[in-house]
Amino acid sequence: ICSFVCSPKGFPKLKNDAFLRAARGEETEHTPVWCMRQAGRYLPEFRETRAAQDFFATCRSPKLCCELTLQPLRRFPLDAAIIFSDILVVPQALGMEVVMVPGKGPTFTEPLKEVEDLLKLRQKVDVTAELGYVFQAITLTRHSLEGRVPLIGFSGAPWTLMSYMIEGGGSTTMSKAKSWLYRHPEASHQLLRLLADVITDYLVGQVAAGAQALQLFESHAGHLGPEQFQDFALPYIQDIAQAVKSKLKEEALPQVPMIIFAKDAHYALRDLAHAGYEVVGLDWTIRPQEARAQTGKDVTLQGNLDPCALYAPKEKIGELVKKMLEGFGTQRYIANLGHGLYPDMSPEHVGAFVEAVHAHSRQINKH
């Protein structure tokens, strides 16, 4: 393992680059497809691999992350792999303790309550020291993929991470985190800036380790209105794209396509299309034609089938996919769900989704 992990050069040649071509706006024979949370609990083999281990212990094991990343690709002809990890490894790198509580989800033992709590966070993070296990997982996985498909790296975006750090876990209202934006705008910006700097280094490190594309998850965008998004989310989303691109250049690393996925942020689609990302990810609450109209011709769109559509009979999944492809068009487009796969979904229905995207997009391209 060490020769892989210690020298990320000499990766196998990529055989299927449809996802990367679509991300860059080049022509593809079929529409590429992958699924958020494709490495997940809906797969029995995933549950088996995960059974013996604490969740974050799994995240810290390059070997297990590699295995979990590869599992869906053994079943389905997906066009991309996404490294198995979690967005909350970044708050951990800042010195916060996060545990996975069964039935409750990720929980911070000491969330940020007062502005003074910011002083407890590491102000300078050595990402290789704190998050090197993710880099090792990426390098190992990139070799183990043997060039089958590209590997996507990712991070949570600053506002989403900040909301977890203050709420101490999931929340339906994000009222504690949002109250900071109103009561402590300066401290909020201080925290968001710290997060943006760490995320930038983290994403650059992922590319150095072998990631061929990057996705930034602003999963809690829907809790902000247009004004707060404009003040507290968008500037950092833009800064990260710009800083990652310039650091990749400085370090003579490949310029990889970047995807921004801001869930429930249709009010900000125009801005996101100009935020410096090659791809804008969409949730299922917006019509394809409307998304195209708002984002223009210079970005690739990714999404956005309602994940619950996968509970439908297979024929119905095929019809919904066809309609989605007709709405987006087959080019400058990456098919995906509008959010992650749910644990009780049938792997066969996930397979039906992937195959329908390939079959219908080839059909449409012929005509």
> Where in the sequence numbering do the catalytic residues fall?
37, 41, 50, 86, 164
- Phi and psi at 47, nearest 5°, equal -60, -40
User: Strand pairing of 258-262 and 279-281?
Assistant: parallel
E strand segments, the chain: 81-82, 98-101, 105-108, 151-156, 213-218, 258-262, 279-281, 300-305, 333-337
Q: How far is CA 74 from CA 33, 78, 94, in A?
A: 15, 9, 35
How far from 88 is each of 94, 102, 163, CA to CA, in Å? 10, 16, 11
Q: In sequence order, what are the residues at sequence separation of 6 or more whose Cβ sits closer than 8 angstroms to the Cβ of residue 33?
A: 78, 79, 334, 335, 336, 353, 354, 357, 358
Full DSSP string of 48-62: HHHTTS-HHHHHT-H
Other beta carbons within 10 Å of 349: 19
- Residue 98 to residue 79: CA distance in whole angstroms: 32
Report the 10 Å Cβ neighbour count for 247.
17
Q: Six-digit token pair at 278?
A: 């090659």
Nearest-5° Cα angle at 277, 167 to 76: 80
Q: Say which DSSP state 46 is in.
A: H
